[in-house]
Amino acid sequence: MNMQRRALTLVGSIAACVTLAACDVQDGQYALPKSTSTQAPAATPVAASQVQIFEGEPNRAYTVIGPLDIEVSKLTALHPTPTREAAITRLQEAAGRLGADAVINVVIGENRVILTSWGSRRATGTAVKF
């Protein structure tokens, strides 16, 4: 029984090391490295009003943060139809939360009625940092 428990502990430790792709071995014991964080530090949010919108590529160097895909909808037939400005504002808000300076390659769709909404407008783009 004791041998089985030691074998399972060893297998679990090795699996953890393989999963993390780094592990320290000291005196036959497996230990996790002191720092295993591979995530980038959290981005500092940017005010939505400061996020620039480009329908194409900007004329300056940038780093891609990630894709954005938002939908602006109206809840009932009595609510106003979603506008291009509302879609742009929503893109700016989403990009600002990611710490982006701009959204490039923006495409804003036409209004459409979908199963879950009386009216909807979709907008996509790529959040970037200059």
Cα separation, 101 vs 112, in Å, equals: 30
In a domain? residue 122: yes
In a domain? residue 53: yes
Cα separation, 77 vs 118, in Å, equals: 6
> Residue 9 is part of which domain span?
2-31
Residues 6+ apart with CB under 8 A from 15: none
Same domain, 59 and 14: no
Cα separation, 94 vs 108, in Å, equals: 15
In total, how many domains does the chain have? 2
At 4 the pLDDT is: 52
In a domain? residue 43: no
Same domain, 59 and 115: yes
In a domain? residue 39: no
The answer to whether the pTM exceeds 0.75 is: no
Helices (H), 43-128: 84-97
Same domain, 123 and 65: yes
Over residues 76-115, the pLDDT tens digits come to 888 888 999 999 999 999 999 999 999 999 999 998 887 7
Q: In which element (H, E) is residue 126 found?
A: strand 117-129
Closest Cα partner for 12 from 103, 4, 40?
Answer: 4
* Position 63, amino acid: T
Identify the burial level of 118 via C-beta atoms within 10 angstroms of its C-beta, where 0-12 means exposed, 13-18 middle and 19 or more buried: middle
- Kindly report the number of other CB atoms within 10 A of residue 104's CB atom: 19
Does the structure show a pLDDT above 90 at 127? yes
Over residues 14-41, the pLDDT tens digits come to 444 443 334 444 444 444 444 443 444 5
